[in-house]
Amino acid sequence: MKPLPQAQREVLASVAPLPAEHIDLVDAAGLALAEPIVARHDLPPFANSAMDGYAVLASDVAATPVVLEVLEDVAAGSVPTKLVTPGTAIKIMTGAPMPAGADTVVPVEDTEPAPSSVTILASWPVGASVRPAGDDVASGTTVLDVGERLTAARLGICASLGYHSPLVRRRPRVAIMSTGDEIVPPETAELAPGKIRDANRFTLRGNLEELGVEVVDLGIIGDDADRLRATFATAAANADVVVSSGGVSMGEYDLVKHLLGELGSVDFWKVAMKPAKPFAFGRLSDTPFFGLPGNPVSVAVAYEQFLRPALLQMMGATQVFRPRLPGVLDQDVGTDLGKVVFLRVTVSPGDDGHLHASLSGAQGSNILTALAAADALAVIPVGTSEVARGSLVELEMLRMPESRTAAEVTDV
């Protein structure tokens, strides 16, 4: 058996980042930068007011109340035309440029306006409610690095700095298919004896869409050598990555295994992990191929350990693995001495300040309900045959679930 870290290293060593191209910001969510985002100007570009109020000299409002002459109004988007001198003020809106001469803003709440003057009721020091130029980013600063993925806030940064079409790695096209004579589409109303509905293409699609890659769905392919051969060839020609589920273990009808020898250079591994021990990896022509096992939970775990990090690497992301957090396992669990075991667990915060994990259901590789209920995979290393209740384990977080209903608005 191949140790899991070795299998992961081999996979990651053989997939390269896709080409970089400029992509409009509206289509760039989730993609990784192939150029650094360097501020070509200060952000904000000019000193401006953080409040609706009056731009004044702090020295004028050191003793209050005091009456100041109002020279003009400046709205956001326009510019002041006058200089604030002792005894004067300019009415200013949030986001409007600071007038020359003024060094502080008195919020409107601390004033009493009159037709052409204002009474200032409270003292404010120099710089109060003023956002200096470059408050957020100074011109010349590298704000985002190559390999960082465009999250919502980072899209906002790119937009603010004029990177409307940043250089990113292109979105991978991933072809997926389910294999097996027993697999029928989910719309099948009556299951014939021996048939089951296809789960794997849908868990895979859900994962891939969440990751932000393009999915090419090639459907269900029976255990038929000619159809498999044709589908693999089409897939390899039209996608950046080909993924199948089923047919890679030891059974007589595991045709994927037999065919791949002919079509490309694919290796069949027994990875020291549970679930998802059988796994095929290699190339169909030149396209990376992932042959996932058939059992639905194995598909999900193999996705997490191999396919997801490989796709993130193809996307040019620097960080490719899910976060791991320590947590306390709340029950005794027997595992497998010779394999890394991934337990499906729910995770919640405990009163002791630690995260706590409990099995989310039965741990068979066919038990989709336990996968559906899981927040994390608890990673039990090789060399462990049982984990005692109360032990600290590593939790590979699959999601951070919403945790409160609409009725549970908390007081802060």
How many whole angstroms separate alpha carbon 380 and alpha carbon 359? 13
* Residue 287 contact among ligand AMP, Mg ion, none, beta carbon within 5 to 8 Å by kind: none
Helix (H) or strand (E) holding 104: strand 104-107
Phi and psi at residue 92, in whole multiples of 5°?
-135, 145
C-beta of 180 vs 296, nearer to Mg ion: 180
293 binds Mg ion (CB under 5 A): no
**Piece of 135-143, 177-185, 208-216, 373-381 that binds ligand AMP (CB under 6 A):** 177-185
**Piece of 115-123, 178-186, 192-200, 208-216 that binds Mg ion (CB under 5 A):** 178-186
296 binds Mg ion (CB under 5 A): no
Answer whether the bond into residue 185 is a cis peptide, omega within 30°: no
C-beta of 68 vs 204, nearer to ligand AMP: 204
Choice from 147, 212, 246, 293 touching Mg ion (CB under 5 A): 246
- SS3 of 226-278: the string is HHHHHHHHHHHHHCCEEEEECCCCCCCCCHHHHHHHHHEEEEEEEECEECCCE
Q: Number of residues in contact with ligand AMP, rule: CB under 6 A?
A: 17
How many whole angstroms separate alpha carbon 350 and alpha carbon 51? 41
* Residue 275 contact among ligand AMP, Mg ion, none, beta carbon within 5 to 8 Å by kind: none
C-beta of 159 vs 196, nearer to ligand AMP: 196
Choice from 134, 247, 275, 309 touching ligand AMP (CB under 6 A): 247
Choice from 20, 39, 183, 300 touching ligand AMP (CB under 6 A): 183
**Piece of 124-132, 142-150, 247-255, 386-394 that binds ligand AMP (CB under 6 A):** 247-255
178 binds ligand AMP (CB under 6 A): yes
Look up residue 346 and give its amino acid: T
Buried b (16+ CB within 10 A) or exposed e, 332-342: ebebeeebbbb
Residues 273-302: x/- map of binding to ligand AMP (CB under 6 A)?
--------------------xxxx------
The residue sitting closest to ligand AMP, measured at its beta carbon, is 294
**Nearest approach, Cβ of 320 to ligand AMP (angstroms)?**
26
The residue sitting closest to Mg ion, measured at its beta carbon, is 180
CA-to-CA dists, residue 374 to 168, 197, 412, angstroms? 33, 22, 29
User: What are residue 355's DSSP bridge partners?
Assistant: 327, 349
DSSP-derived 3-state class of residue 399: coil
C-beta of 131 vs 257, nearer to ligand AMP: 257
Which residue, chain included where needed, has tokens 């498999």? 228
Query: Are the C-beta atoms of residues 122 and 66 closer than 8 Å to each other?
Result: no
C-beta of 242 vs 347, nearer to Mg ion: 242
**Nearest approach, Cβ of 189 to ligand AMP (angstroms)?**
17
How many whole angstroms separate alpha carbon 194 and alpha carbon 190? 12
Report the sign of the C-alpha dihedral through residues 203, 208, 212, 216, in that order: negative
Q: Number of residues in contact with Mg ion, rule: CB under 5 A?
A: 4
What phi-psi label fits residue 6: left (phi over 0), alpha (psi between -120 and 50 degrees) or beta? alpha
User: DSSP labels for 79-93?
Assistant: ---S---TTEEEEE-
C-beta of 203 vs 287, nearer to ligand AMP: 203
336 binds ligand AMP (CB under 6 A): no
Choice from 49, 88, 207, 245 touching ligand AMP (CB under 6 A): 245
198 binds ligand AMP (CB under 6 A): yes
Choice from 166, 172, 212, 247 touching Mg ion (CB under 5 A): 247
Q: Cα 17–269–3 angle (5° rounding)?
A: 85
Report the sign of the C-alpha dihedral through residues 164, 165, 167, 170, in that order: positive
Which residues of the chain form contacts with ligand AMP (CB under 6 A)?
178, 180, 182-183, 196, 198-200, 245-247, 249, 251, 293-296
Which residues of the chain form contacts with Mg ion (CB under 5 A)?
180, 246-247, 294
